[in-house]
Amino acid sequence: MSTPLTIPALLHRSADQFGSATYLVSTNGAATDRLTYRQAEQVSADAARQLLAIGVGKGTRVGVFFSNGTDWIVWWLAASRIGAVVVPLSTMYRPAELAKVLRLADITVLVSGARVLDSEVPEMLEAALPELADQSAGRLRLVAAPFLRTIVLTEPTDRTWASTPGDPDDVPAALDYSLPEFDLRLAFEPVDFIQVNAEVNRALVSRAVQWLDAGPTDRVLDLFCGLGNFTLALARRAGTVVGVEGDAGLIARARGNAGRNGIANAAFHVGNLAAEDLALERWWAGGFTHVLLDPPRVGARDVLAPVAQLAPKRIVYVSCHPGTLARDLGILVHEHGYGLVAAGVLDMFPHTTHVESMAVLEPIHDTCRP
């Protein structure tokens, strides 16, 4: 099964698969640097946390100014895995050229070593940006490079305008949010999908668990489960919960969240939910009494028929698109013998046209009951 082409997912899979095998070899004169796949994942994760600590996030333009070697690769991976836009800078630039690129590329953070080729980077930057002399680290305000706020030098320096990487152990290992009603704290990475309105998300999860009404003897299937937002809350009430999601990175986070919260009755699987043979998947075996659907905006049409074949006694459908929700409810009602018994709307994004909708369905024909 294919892995989504995201940097964190590919790094995680490669580290698991190849471990101590050589990922990169770099020579610099008589010196040789090597990174294994596992080291590449760990070192780039440390660097990514350091970038997060200085405010880098999705879409931030990060200039990378290194000679070819392990440093260039590590910082490229670090910025890429948090969704930043990497701007490689040529080591052949003269100061005037460097100043021009910093300005035109709208670079916000510049990361560099102490030397590139035969040039001292601090001296080169001061020649390119004379205003640096009066600046403080992390608070740059430069007419010549108006977007540039931080310059990170990866080696010790006495320049007051330069920041240096901190100890990665001093940087939070992950972002997280809580669901106090279920005694849960869920970790996520900056480019993961989460519900950004924490207060409404708590109400959403609480209502979904209430409406699904699964008990200690029930088996729940959570499709499009993400990093476990509903799955782990349901696991506090139900006997067994199985979460399925197409993004391997999110499934890795979901499994980690289950472990950190001491939940042993939830299982997570990577699955292609557009496949025609879902019933053949290993995780499908055993049947389910309840189903929760939380699809993306395109809806859950591909899974409706196999879900109906499971004949769950209750389905809760959470939707971010009323149009695809209406379409899918119509299919479940008119083609699969389910009836709509409750519905509601949560204002996830106030002052916008976007809402989160919920619906509860139960079988209305005896032939649909388990």
Of 185, 284, 181, nearest to 237 by C-alpha is: 181
pLDDT for the residue 12: 77
Give the class (CATH, top level) of 175-368. alpha beta
The pLDDT of residue 6 is above 80: no
Give the H or E element holding residue 257. helix 248-260
224: left (phi over 0), alpha (psi -120 to 50) or beta: left
Task: Calculate the dihedral angle through the C-alpha atoms of 229, 233, 235, 237, rounding to the nearest 10 degrees.
Answer: -160
pLDDT for the residue 168: 52
Residue range 319-344: average pLDDT? 94
Q: What is the DSSP letter of 169?
A: G
Whole-model pTM: value is 0.57
CATH architecture of 7-170: 3-Layer(aba) Sandwich (3.40)
Helix-strand-coil percent breakdown of the chain, rounded to 5?
Answer: 35, 25, 40
Q: Would 7-170 and 175-368 be classified into the same CATH topology?
A: yes
The answer to which of 31-40, 85-94, 165-174, 287-296 has the lowest mean pLDDT is: 165-174
Please, what sign has the CA dihedral across residues 300, 305, 306, 308? positive
Whether 320 is a known active-site residue: answer yes
Tens of pLDDT, residue by residue over 261-283, are: 899 999 999 888 887 788 888 88
Residue range 286-297: average pLDDT? 94
Q: What is the DSSP letter of 112?
A: E
Q: What is the CA radius of gyration of the chain?
A: 25
pLDDT for the residue 368: 46
Ordered by start, the domain boundaries in the chain are 7-170, 175-368
Give the H or E element holding residue 75. helix 70-81
- Out of 45, 320, 358, 361, the active site residue is 320
